[in-house]
Amino acid sequence: MKKHKLVYKISCLFILTLILSGCWNQSQIEERAYVIAIGLDNAKDENQIKLTYLIANPEYGSQIQGGGTKEPPHEIISFVTDDLTTSRNAANVVISKEITYDLLTVLTVSQEFAKDKDFIRWMYDTTKDPEIRRDVHLVVTKENASEFFKKNEPKLETRPHKYFDMILDRGVETGMLPSSELIEYFRITEADADLFLAMYGTTKQNDDENQKRDNDNFTAGEFRYSGQTNTTNFAGSAVFKEGIMIGKLTADETRTTIMLNDELNATDVLTTYTDPFNENYRVATRVNKTKRNKVEMDLTARTPTIDVTIPIEIEVLSAHSMVDYEKDISKRKKLKKSIEKEIRTKIENLVRKTQEEFKAEPFGWSLVARKKFLTIPAYEEFDWMKSYPDMKVNIKINVTFGQFGRQSELPNEKEIRD
Amino acid sequence: MFKNLITKYMTTSKEKLYTQQSSEEAISIKEKDITSNLDHTTSTFKSIYSYPNNSDVKFRDIQIGGINKKAVLVFINTISDTDMIEKQILNPLLLNEEPSRKIDDLISAQSVSTAKKIRDILKEINKGNVALFIQGEKQAFIINAANFQGRGIEKAENEVSLIGSKEAFNEKVMTNISLIRKKIKSEDLVIESTTVSKRSNNEVYYVYVKDLVNDELLQTVKERIDQIDIDSIQNLAILEQHIEERQKSIFPTILNTERPDRAASFLEEGYIVLLMDNSPASLVLPATFWSFYHTAEDRYVRLFYGNVTRLIRMMAMFIALFTSSIYIAVTNFHAEMVPPDLLLAIAATREKVPVGAILEVLFMELAFELIREAGLRIPGPIGPTIGIVGALILGQAAVQANIVSPIVVIVVALGGLSSFAIGNISMNFTIRICRFAFILAAGAFGIYGITALFVVGIFYMVSIKSFGVPYLSPLTPKYLSSGDTIFRRMLKNEIFRPSYLKPKDMKKK
């Protein structure tokens, strides 16, 4: 009898725990609407935003037995709301399923809104919602985000999560886009020393004919292309200072920044440099950074100096001048010097731009600078962001050559024409 | 009112019962010794055996030649070797011409013994032996002539091995002992027998290697078996349930194997093996978790082959336990854990399914268990239909009818398939039952539930003992052994016998 009582009590406890916990968080996978991308725009009222949801249609593109579907790959809804969290309920006026941010990969912000002084308040909404991951990419668009989503129509990767995943990751690999995860935005904003770079994209073509576009020197919208494809393009970066957008960098400048910043990483950079033997031609190269930069600082001097040595490995893929670099050491030396000089000028221009225009740097140098101080108050007193514009930055490039293409032998141009 | 109903039912049912009868008289007769009066003895036995109603009991009156005495042979012809009785007992007795010879010298059978008590004589006759009563003798001669019918040695069916020996135990215990003796040719191999049940007189044979086995362990096993107080124990499977420590436990603690080579290798480690008539198997005890996880083949194939098989089996065990429950946990609680492509694919397939994920999985699991159970019980000739019914109707048609999503079919089929990789039937049941527990835990608490249940399960497993030996030894708690647990070592590195058995000789070499 005593034993029975015990069993009875324990089973009661067990049943109670079942009632008390679990199940509440339970929600069926097919009863949720998966938001792939969120767009933020200015609303008329200062305390409100215009929110855009890009919701994926799970049924699209899957071959289900028992009847497929002719539904579109996604649906887009824009509305004015107070914040990112309560908006989920508001959206249910139109959307039939529970809104979830589980698959959120992209947070898109219009350029106009990103420059708003209150922008940072809205960004901190994303830190409160447990469903929003910190590795969501921040993308700044030239036009309104709501418009951007409407015009964005990928032809092949029609499933939205796939499209954004692929194009943004590929952009980071080629160095045309910076890696711009939310966590970095918050880290850099809170450290209050460096600049944060966000991806830059648009669906609008820039019609300015006079702009110099060669040599990757463009931002999204300036790259000219034709054909039957998507109007969306991503290139370059938006520069954020203290959480607010202050400018833009071109794709080439973004690549240079990645070269300088060891925290950023581009694995597949193909670019061209002027051929020292014939100014008309350019040498096609693959740029690898195998080692970390050497950053040395002297912050005690009246004019603090930064000495940066950048080791770069270059593979020459093709040279239209048909100069035989592989066999001739002296020619290689000349090429090395020429490339080093070209990169140095590029970097120096960028550094000057950051010092004069942005008055802060996106190269992550403040992390190195911190180590030069004994205490945090000392570092804070130095005020990196304020001191940076007056610093003297010395750049040293150290180019080493890798392979010279698959076939090393080149025919003599004159002999062929003979 | 309820009480009234019960009492009413009780009284009415009692009236219909037969009148109580007692077998006390018969029992008291059996306790007596036989007398020298042959006719009296014969009539006593005839009445005990209900002769001539009992058709296979034979009473053969003879006149022994030479000494000229009347005698009666009593035996049951269905369980004795009649050929042998004729040639080695009847012929020498009838054809004898020398008056001075003793009965022992007349009979040419292998063994002859004597018995006085009626009960003892009956026991021998029931074993298939011949009882010879002679006029004027106060004892009966018992001549060994037992020959029970049974099948011959056949291939192992449940524990198949590709390159090991193919013989399996059969229902004759003598054959089984012979199979073990064939593998351990040693004077230290002892086969002791004892009678466990009171009415059916079933015998259990302890098999052990005298100079290896721990005497205390052997004593524990014997005590456990002696404590059984029951009329009949048909076979080892029943015996197993009588002697195991936790009868309500979900984990098996005694290994049942049909392979003589496995039994022999356990004997050589210091384990004890039990054999019985009517059981085409042997019981190995004490058993640890690992003995259910291993197969004979693991040791027969080369080191890497054996270990890869074990790795696959271990993975299969986890897959069988967790696939369904992880599917439920992930789709109901942790959607963010799944890669987007898979998540959307699952969401898309679930869109038209009418029931929740838990019900869906439970339904499919139930269907799978049904196919398995029905497939086992179905008569041979219609066996193939079960495959068609299972695969086509339950798999494809259920998906096409939007009753289950195709991913659930994959998940359940994968789990079901994996559960077959665990060869031991008891462990197979354990895993299958646990799987349902995990599904329910996942349905209620998600991954947290799965983890909690797994932790509790591990706690429980550590607490189990089989005849004093911890279930997970030698892994937890750590014991010196040959290291044959999840993986096995090279044979030359297997130096020690398992020390949790406390064998008399620790070193194998």
* pLDDT (tens digit per residue) in B127-173: 888 999 988 888 889 988 888 888 888 898 888 888 989 999 999 89
Q: How far is A99 from chain B (nearest CA, A)?
A: 13
Asked if B347 reaches chain A (Cβ–Cβ under 8 Å), the answer is yes
Asked if B356 reaches chain A (Cβ–Cβ under 8 Å), the answer is yes
Mean pLDDT of B444-472: 92
- With a cut of 70, say whether residue A208 has pLDDT above it: no
Q: How far is A25 from chain B (nearest CA, A)?
A: 6
Mean pLDDT of B110-136: 87
B356, B399, B446: residue with CB nearest A28: B356
pLDDT at residue number B253: 93
Specify the amino acid at residue B304: F
The answer to whether the CB atoms of B347 and A58 lie below 8 A apart is yes
- Name residue B61's beta-bridge partners: B72
Chain A positions touching B335 (Cβ under 8 A) are 27, 29, 32, 100, 102
Asked if B164 reaches chain A (Cβ–Cβ under 8 Å), the answer is no
Chain B positions touching A166 (Cβ under 8 A) are none
A58, A133, A159: residue with CB nearest B351: A58
pLDDT at residue number A22: 52
Question: Which pLDDT band, with edges at 50, 70 and 90, does A216 fall under?
Answer: confident
DSSP string of B100-122, one letter each residue? T--HHHH--SS-EEEE-BHHHHH
Chain A positions touching B353 (Cβ under 8 A) are 30
Asked if B402 reaches chain A (Cβ–Cβ under 8 Å), the answer is yes
Report the distance separating Cα B126 and Cα B45, nearest Å.
12
pLDDT at residue number B316: 94
Least Cα distance to B265 among B183, B177, B181, B155 occurs for: B183
Chain B positions touching A60 (Cβ under 8 A) are 348
The answer to whether the CB atoms of B406 and A65 lie below 8 A apart is yes
The answer to whether the CB atoms of B340 and A100 lie below 8 A apart is no
Specify the amino acid at residue A118: D
- With a cut of 70, say whether residue A136 has pLDDT above it: yes
The answer to whether the CB atoms of B347 and A102 lie below 8 A apart is no
Q: Which of A67-76, B124-133, B439-448 has the lowest mean pLDDT?
A: A67-76
* pLDDT (tens digit per residue) in B266-283: 999 999 999 998 899 999
Question: Which pLDDT band, with edges at 50, 70 and 90, does A311 fall under?
Answer: very high
Chain B positions touching A30 (Cβ under 8 A) are 346-348, 350-351, 353
Query: Strand B189-195 relative to strand B203-209: parallel, antiparallel, unpaired?
Result: antiparallel
* pLDDT (tens digit per residue) in B34-65: 888 888 888 888 888 888 888 888 888 888 88
User: Mutation test of the interface with chain A: which of B351, B396, B403, B453, choosing the one with the most A Cβ atoms within 10 A?
Assistant: B351
Question: Which pLDDT band, with edges at 50, 70 and 90, does B374 fall under?
Answer: confident
The answer to whether the CB atoms of A65 and B341 lie below 8 A apart is no
pLDDT at residue number A25: 67
The answer to whether the CB atoms of A66 and B352 lie below 8 A apart is yes
* pLDDT (tens digit per residue) in A342-353: 999 999 999 999
pLDDT, mean over chain A: 87
Mean pLDDT of B172-184: 92
B343, B349, B445: residue with CB nearest A64: B349
Percent of chain A topping pLDDT 70: 93
Q: How far is B168 from chain A (nearest CA, A)?
A: 45
The answer to whether the CB atoms of B331 and A34 lie below 8 A apart is no
The answer to whether the CB atoms of B348 and A58 lie below 8 A apart is yes
Strand order in the sheet with B255-257: B189-195, B203-209, B272-276, B282-285, B255-257
Contacts of A28 (CB under 8 A, 6+ apart): B331, B332, B350, B356, B357
The answer to whether the CB atoms of B356 and A161 lie below 8 A apart is no
Mean pLDDT of A335-362: 92
pLDDT at residue number B497: 92
Per DSSP, the three-state class of A261 is coil
The answer to whether the CB atoms of B347 and A21 lie below 8 A apart is no
Strand order in the sheet with B57-64: B57-64, B69-76, B130-134, B140-143, B112-115
Contact indicator for B357, B347 with CB cutoff of 8 Å: no
* pLDDT (tens digit per residue) in B423-439: 888 999 999 999 999 99
The answer to whether the CB atoms of B332 and A29 lie below 8 A apart is yes
User: Mutation test of the interface with chain B: which of A10, A30, A34, choosing the one with the most B Cβ atoms within 10 A?
Assistant: A30
Contact indicator for B71, B133 with CB cutoff of 8 Å: yes
Question: What are the distances in angstroms from CA B400 to CA A372, B195, B321, B392, B404?
Answer: 68, 60, 27, 11, 8
- Chain position carrying tokens 């001739």: A328
* pLDDT (tens digit per residue) in A21-33: 555 667 788 888 9
Helix axes B303-332, B406-419, angle to 10 degrees: 140
pLDDT at residue number A265: 84
Report the distance separating Cα B114 and Cα B120, nearest Å.
10
The answer to whether the CB atoms of B340 and A161 lie below 8 A apart is yes
- With a cut of 70, say whether residue B369 has pLDDT above it: yes
Percent of chain B topping pLDDT 70: 97
User: ipTM for the complex?
Assistant: 0.79
Q: What is the pTM of this model?
A: 0.81
Mean pLDDT of A319-332: 84
Contacts of A93 (CB under 8 A, 6+ apart): none
- Burial group, residue B328, by CB count within 10 angstroms (0-12, 13-18, 19+): buried
Supply B89's token pair: 């007992």
pLDDT at residue number B12: 55
pLDDT at residue number B14: 54
* pLDDT (tens digit per residue) in B168-177: 999 989 899 9
| CA-based nearest residue in chain A for residue B351 | A30
* pLDDT (tens digit per residue) in B468-481: 999 998 888 899 98
- Name residue B255's beta-bridge partners: B284
The answer to whether the CB atoms of B357 and A59 lie below 8 A apart is no
- How many Cβ atoms are within 10 Å of B55's Cβ, its own excluded? 10
Q: How far apart are the first and last CA of chain A?
A: 112
* pLDDT (tens digit per residue) in A274-308: 889 888 888 899 998 888 999 999 888 888 999 99
The answer to whether the CB atoms of A58 and B345 lie below 8 A apart is yes
DSSP string of B201-244, one letter each residue? --EEEEEEETTTS-HHHHHHHHHHHHT--BS---SHHHHHHHH-
* CATH classification (class only), A268-410: alpha beta
How is chain A split into domains, by residue range?
A: 28-256, 268-410
Asked if B400 reaches chain A (Cβ–Cβ under 8 Å), the answer is yes
| CA-based nearest residue in chain A for residue B333 | A26
pLDDT at residue number A222: 84
Report the distance separating Cα B227 and Cα B229, nearest Å.
6
pLDDT, mean over chain B: 88
Least Cα distance to A360 among A211, A194, A162 occurs for: A194
Least Cα distance to A171 among A87, A242, A258 occurs for: A258
Contacts of A395 (CB under 8 A, 6+ apart): A308, A310, A344, A347, A348, A351
- With a cut of 60, say whether residue A66 has pLDDT above it: no
Asked if B411 reaches chain A (Cβ–Cβ under 8 Å), the answer is no
